[in-house]
A and B are shown apart, each in its own frame.
Chain A
Amino acid sequence: MTIAVLSGGSSLEREVSLRSGKRVTEALRGRGHEVVTLDLDEHLVDQLAAHAIDLVFLALHGKVGEDGSIQSLLDLLGIAYTGSGATASALAWDKSVSKGVLRHASVHTPNWHVLSEDAVREYGAGRALERIAERIAFPLVVKPVQGGSSLGVRLVEGPEDLASAVMSAFHYHPAALLERVVVGTEVAVSIVDGTALPAVEIHAKGGAYDFGARYTHGATEFHAPARLDPEVADACADAAGRAWDALGCRHVMRADLIVDDDGTPWLLEVDTCPGLTETSLLPIAAKAGGLGFDQFCERLVDIARVQTLAA
């Protein structure tokens, strides 16, 4: 069986993806697999054929790899791949859609409002910004509706900074999500093949778990398993599990949550193609669950192969 590790592409998360891809390639080669690494470009279909690829390990981050596009293409080509199918990917990738689905499935997710660039440009929505403050109290967080790695995310303390934060988010995606800030403990719950791994607790030393905190060794303090009361840890796993079911995920997923002072987990977003770099959350969770990185990668390949054969 020949595996293609697909990474890179021209997404703004290209660098993170290349790092994930490199690690996965080394891990799978170390386990004796035949692996080729492909940088996502216009030659993809030809390259998959030329290398007679049986299975694609998706280490892509950013739009094309996570919004269902690649998944649809691989479905069409009849090639197995790791991670969720096209529909679940598309649902999870768009934060406004996934939050709607989560709320419908009775998963706590902080109140939000979406403002599109079209609405601002064409219909004067900028003048309705103050209404946001009535819906969602400050401070609030503004993020691109689609995108990862905290790119374009801003904490807004008051109305005077709201417009610039929204414009900042528009540089990454033409719709911004304005979301209530939940104060509490930041936690990530990863699920592999339907089973939750130990939760990872996140304390960014600089305060915000931003790009620098995510990808600098030592800039963030992690605890795995998270130091949560057992019932709170169960509630986190339960919330992640319900998100998994509601979105129709498979193979692997990571949910980002905040546990408030009352012990209620609030689910912020779901990642169907989680980062696999040296500082990423999923490998930390896997290790806490007894799976080394190499084993984890191989496990994912096995799951993807079996499930695709069964399908």
Chain B
Amino acid sequence: MTEVQLDPYQSRYAQRAHGMTASEIRALFAVATRPEIVSLAGGMPYTAALDADAVTAVTEMVIRESGATALQYGGGQGIDELRERLVDVMAAEQVRVHPDDILVTNGGQQGLDLLGKLFCNPGDIVLAEGPSYVGALNAFSSYQAYVIHLAMDEAGLIPESLDETVAALRSAGRTAKFLYTIPNHQNPAGVSMSAARREALIERAQRYDLLLIEDNPYGLLDFKGEQLTCLHEMDPDRVIYLGTLSKIFSPGVRIGWVAAPAPIRNKLTLLKETADLSQSNLTQYVAERWLATQPWLDQVKQFRELYRERCDAMLDELALELPDDCSWSAPTGGFFVWLRLPDGLDSKELLPSALRARVAYVPGRAFYADGSGEREMRLSFCFPTSDSIREGVRRLAGVIRDQIALREAFYGHQTTKDDAS
């Protein structure tokens, strides 16, 4: 036998692990961490804006006052005091829930994973905006669910697109397990679902008896002061709500939560206990003390102003630098601008050129389960300074212009499909 077994465990893996391979894109992102690169790729909150002394004081308070409990195992649902504070956070979003409705999770991401585990059999269908959050798509597809995307525009998900999809599913004898949506300042599109569309979506969800998962990480980072009504508030029995402290305090404490009707919540709690026994008590107490003793809403306001300024810098520079046939979203809040390239350009193909020009972004394909999005890309403005953002956009614009010129050299100046329409 000359065969060299690099993975002797291969025949043992479950089917759901079969698609997991090394990715070229992931490898390219290793370069994006270098200091000379302006990364418009990651969605990292700017935690340097936090008051480090205040965080130190809070952490010290936890160890001093609740050390033995904080360093102990916890209960499956999360500590009571924190769930009471999370009710306050939701109240700031104009959502009313009881602390018992809440399950604390290891970031919002664990909530997504547990929901996939609870609802999805292999081959099940779930619905999501196109584009949608890559972490949610991965969580659902890890349970071998099949994601169907619904159209969205600058006013968010288009509720009418649900009619056609539901009809097609019904005629095939299928139903969707749930619809996953990020109504506020969506990742990656940066836009929010309008009030009218929220009404229309809830009306259709009721008509089609569709369960909704409302993911709301960016709600309080609202640049326009719109504070649109959350879907959960419109129909609490039909909407599972996901929250997180990652964007308004710290992603390092890994505090997210699910607010769900009791039968669902109880099952999620059991699944959570199976997954990790309990959330870290230590970080739960730190989060609880932060929310209970610090002016956390002032901190949110500071984050919001910081991100608004950076978003403006990005939008200004995009308008100055990008060729006419590019288009992009005007974010209502959050972290991201969604950019659309001219016909014929492919954002995944373009990435190595962008990295050579010292700028990084996330290609659009990552945000679609069906492989579309080749002309799109996500630009984040949350982490780099405004000056870096401007420089990054200038570099990106150079790469795009250069690629357009190369295409013209190959094909001559063609009438694109968009021009013709």
Contact = CB atoms under 8 A, between A and B. Distances in A.
A172 interface: yes
Interface residues of B, number: 34
Contacts of B406: 117, 120-121, 167, 170
Contact of B2 (A163, A167, A212, A227): A227
A298 B356 CA distance: 34
Contact of A219 (B21, B350, B351, B407): B21
The main secondary structure of chain A at its interface with chain B is: mixed
Nearest to B29: A15
A227 B24 CA distance: 30
Given A14-B31, A163-B411, A211-B22, A152 B352 contact: yes
Contact of A212 (B4, B21, B30, B403): B21
B418 interface: no
A222 B6 contact: yes
Contact of A217 (B2, B6, B23, B407): B6
Contacts of B23: 211-212
A180 interface: no
Contacts of A215: 22, 27
Interface residues of A, number: 49
Contacts, number: 102
B24 A278 contact: no
Interface string A192-211: 00000000110000000011
A214 interface: yes
A287 B2 CA distance: 12
B22 A216 contact: yes
A171 B10 contact: no
B409 A226 contact: no
Contact of A211 (B9, B24, B37, B409): B24
Nearest to B7: A218
Contacts of A210: 24
Contacts of A288: 2, 4
A167 B406 CA distance: 8
Contacts of A219: 21-22
B355 A12 contact: yes
B10 A218 contact: yes
Nearest to A166: B410
A151 B31 contact: no
Interface string B60-102: 0000000000000000000000000000000000000000000
Contact of A222 (B3, B28, B349, B403): B3
Contact of B352 (A12, A129, A220, A287): A12
Contacts of B356: 12
B21 A15 contact: no
B34 interface: yes
Interface string B12-37: 00000000111110111011001011
A220 B3 CA distance: 11
Contacts of A13: 27
A163 B410 contact: yes
A164 B411 CA distance: 10
Nearest to A129: B410
A10 interface: yes
Nearest to B402: A121
A149 B403 CA distance: 23
B353 interface: yes
B405 interface: yes
Contacts of A225: 2
Contacts of A226: 2
Contact of A126 (B2, B24, B350, B410): B410
A171 B349 contact: yes
Interface string B388-421: 0000000000000001011101110000000000
Interface string A111-143: 000000100110010100100000000000000
Interface of B: 2-4, 6-7, 9-10, 20-24, 26-28, 30-31, 34, 36-37, 349-353, 355-356, 403, 405-407, 409-411
Given A10-B31, A218-B9, 16 more contacts: A10-B36, A14-B30, A121-B409, A151-B352, A167-B403, A171-B351, A211-B23, A212-B24, A215-B22, A215-B27, A216-B21, A216-B22, A217-B10, A224-B4, A225-B2, A288-B2
15 contacts: A117-B406, A120-B410, A121-B405, A149-B27, A151-B352, A152-B352, A163-B411, A168-B349, A211-B22, A211-B24, A211-B27, A217-B7, A219-B21, A224-B4, A288-B2
